[in-house]
Structure 1
Amino acid sequence: MGTAFSAINQPFGNKIIVDGTSYLYFGGTAYLGIPKNPDFIQLYVEGINKFGLNNGTSRSNNIQLGIYDEAENVAAARYGAEAALITSSGYLAAQLTVKALPNLGEVSYAPATHPSLWLNTSPVAPDSFTIWKAETIERINASTAENWVLISNSMNNLMPEIYDFTFLNQIDATKKLIVIVDDSHGIGVNNGGLSAYSSLPDRPNTEYVVVASMAKALGVDAGIILGSKKIIEQLKKSPAFVGASPPAAAGLYAFINAGEIYQTAWQKLQENIDLLVDNLSSTWKYELGFPAFLIDDPQIDRHFFKDQILISSFPYPSPTSAPINRIVLSSWHEKADIEKLINSISA
């Protein structure tokens, strides 16, 4: 591919035009197609007209926009948490959390945790979530330490694999746990379009804190933290929260009023997933309900390119590694788009 593909000058959507040629696009993280959803855009424009373009004032300022508290209350109710905190980015939400909470216990990192969750350097962890689960159960149950902080993604979106946290029920119930989960790729998509928070097991002596970017499925340039009122109040006293500017109010206005838009987009995404799954062979790896599809074929992106189809393809985990080749579906894809993709897969 030429340099034109690394300098796109149009919104991403189901189609991208490069050098006069139209390509179907099956990549990115806009799982619900929100960046091109006309109803959501209308809400965003309403928000701009109501609140302006941005707000560079700290949330600790004596003069405040009320929409930030409103958006946090809506988010907490929507995703099943006692309270929520909204920041200007998912990275800030994660860093704010891990800088404030790990001093509350012994820390254990799951594999492939996002760099935004790192305290300093890359943490040492086993290669697989399954191994980490077993080691964590054994380590905590055998330890005299009572307080633990577990840090993990909710899923590996590249492979893809949605993690099962019911293993926490095998940990000694007297141990006190804080479990920090990054749900950036799951929020709005997994668990019926909700978040990982509502799916975590009800366990004694356990506090859950879910952090996420809202810029993926939810289409808002912001970050979110879900947790108990006690934890959220503690995080709102941290220097990072007090000193940082909040996200644009217009995006949160759209988020607050987009409940039906998200639900309709989620339903469309599930229909798109079902159509593709019904026509895939066992060589593809995927998780039911999640719109990423992996195949161990380093040349397949070139095959699709001949049919004017672009997929997600990049070397991982290092620049010299073989490429990770994935199809990523979105709610902005139409039935005809997926049928063309299926025909190309079968060719």
Structure 2
Amino acid sequence: MHPDQLEPALAALAAEHRLRQRHALHSPQGPRVNIDGRDYLAFASNDYLGLANHPALKRAMQQAIEQWGVGAGASELVAGHFAIQQQAEAALADWVGCEAALVFGSGYAANLGVITSLVGRGDAVFADKLNHASLNDACVLSRADFQRFRHSDLAHLEALLQKTPARTRLIAVDAVYSMDGDEAPLRELLALAERYDAWLYLDDAHGFGLLGEGRGALVEYALHHPRVVYMATLGKAAGVAGAFVAGSHALVQWLVNTARTYIFTTAHPPAQAAAILASLQVMQQEGWRREQVQQHILTLRQFMQDKSLRLLSSRSPIQAIIIGTNEAAVGMAAALRERGVWIPAIRPPTVPAGTARLRVSLSAGHTAGDLAALLAALQQVAR
């Protein structure tokens, strides 16, 4: 874009109610936050289990800083792989039932690094239309033939697979879709991957910590298979930061040697690994957190049954209320903020045009009283 075009382009976004602004958070992440100097009851974070400010995670990180310091200094292949990082990767692999795991700086970096290391020119990659932007970027940058199939449409995907001449194929999907909250037909997708000799790349950013008693979609649907490459983020239900990819020893060794977003970046702080280990321990010991989330989901969905607002079908903590126009969604979010409730208005290009929405994100940190306050605010605003 030419420098002279920046201001007009920003003005155009504002006119379409698509201009986004950052808001200053003056508190730890949690169900109650202080944003721009005002207190809110928040339903915006992906901190599904309420671990982002958990005492055990904070304590583990503080102690690790004393032992391991703050920075890593360089990439792990250059300056060394912290022993505590190795311990965290082994624990993650064990938690999801895989041979090995590799931690990345973010889910975006994991998707980009893994997909571009497995497919390239002359190969083909098939992606669900509602995949996360990071998956789409990874598919484009892989330089493979990039084909998108209609959302969870197995027949459309199979038709595309039948036509491809590519020797190496990869199917990429979200386990739980971040803006709708629905789930991919994973068993059926694996059957197609077997039939058409393809990898199945599974982005479980919003299922890890919740599905499969916290072990994720891989365990929930018994998907352990040499064709499956599993990725989960650690900054959502796990309450920390980063992401990991799990699979066979050979797969992880291949990624260590070829995944550019792993090789050509400074390693993450070693204290992050300590927090990951603490998070896994809490997930294992405090199953009531997942039960609490499920109760909140049931409460919200029962309330919405006889309301005029359109709630998408989802058994996940992601509960999307479709509003329609950008202006209406922004106005509704503003009306909720006036009542002390923070829910983001999600607009294009994150979601398709005409489906702007309120994305309600539920957490184990919310109480029954918090849900009652949310429902009262929604009732008022809907009128």
**TM value normalised by structure 2:** 0.79
What SS is found at the alignment partner of 1:161?
Answer: coil
Distance of 1:286 and 1:190 partners within structure 2: 17
Distance of 1:46 and 1:213 partners within structure 2: 23
Q: Which residue matches 1:280?
A: 304
What SS is found at the alignment partner of 2:365?
Answer: coil
Q: Which residue matches 1:168?
A: 189
Distance of 1:112 and 1:4 partners within structure 2: 24
Task: After superposing the two structures, state which structure 1 stretch, 89-98 or 69-78, moved more.
Answer: 89-98
Seen in structure 2, the aligned counterparts of structure 1 residues 95 and 320 have a Cα distance that, compared at 3 Å, is: closer
- 1:223-273 alpha-carbon deviations (Å, 9 max, x no partner): 211112221111111162333222221121121133342242333323333
Distance of 2:57 and 2:67 partners within structure 1: 15
- The answer on whether the counterparts of 2:187 and 2:223 sit within 8 Å (CA) in structure 1 is no
- 1:310-336 alpha-carbon deviations (Å, 9 max, x no partner): 112132226995532121111221221
2:322 counterpart of 1:296: yes
What is the identity, as a one-letter code, of the residue corresponding to 1:108? F
Instruction: Give the number of equivalent residue pairs.
Output: 342
2:133 counterpart of 1:115: yes
Seen in structure 2, the aligned counterparts of structure 1 residues 53 and 84 have a Cα distance that, compared at 3 Å, is: same
Identity %: 20
Distance of 1:142 and 1:20 partners within structure 2: 57
Distance of 1:96 and 1:314 partners within structure 2: 27
Q: Which residue matches 1:90?
A: 107
2:337 counterpart of 1:310: no
Seen in structure 2, the aligned counterparts of structure 1 residues 340 and 224 have a Cα distance that, compared at 3 Å, is: same
Seen in structure 2, the aligned counterparts of structure 1 residues 275 and 147 have a Cα distance that, compared at 3 Å, is: same
Distance of 2:265 and 2:170 partners within structure 1: 25
Task: After superposing the two structures, state which structure 1 stretch, 138-147 or 227-236, moved more.
Answer: 138-147
Q: Which residue matches 1:129?
A: 152
Q: Which has the higher contact order (CA 8 A, sep 6+)?
A: 1
What is the identity, as a one-letter code, of the residue corresponding to 1:266? R
Distance of 1:64 and 1:318 partners within structure 2: 36
What is the identity, as a one-letter code, of the residue corresponding to 2:293? L
What SS is found at the alignment partner of 1:29?
Answer: coil
* Deviation beyond 6 Å, 4+ runs, structure 1: none
Seen in structure 2, the aligned counterparts of structure 1 residues 281 and 257 have a Cα distance that, compared at 3 Å, is: same
Structure 2: stretches of 5+ with no match in the other structure: 1-19, 324-328
Q: Which residue matches 2:97?
A: 80
Structure 1: stretches of 5+ with no match in the other structure: none
CA shift, 1:8, in A, is 2.9
What is the identity, as a one-letter code, of the residue corresponding to 1:221? A
Distance of 2:229 and 2:215 partners within structure 1: 15
Distance of 2:139 and 2:163 partners within structure 1: 25
Q: Which residue matches 1:222?
A: 242
CA shift, 1:216, in A, is 1.6
CA shift, 1:302, in A, is 4.1
Root-mean-square deviation over aligned CA pairs: 3.0
Q: Which residue matches 2:365?
A: 332
Seen in structure 2, the aligned counterparts of structure 1 residues 38 and 169 have a Cα distance that, compared at 3 Å, is: closer
Seen in structure 2, the aligned counterparts of structure 1 residues 49 and 300 have a Cα distance that, compared at 3 Å, is: same
Distance of 1:68 and 1:18 partners within structure 2: 33
More helix, by proportion: 2
What is the identity, as a one-letter code, of the residue corresponding to 2:364? S
Q: Which residue matches 1:268?
A: 292
What is the identity, as a one-letter code, of the residue corresponding to 1:326? R
1:207-246 matches, cutoff 5 A: 207-238=227-258, 240=260, 241-246=262-267
Distance of 2:123 and 2:221 partners within structure 1: 20
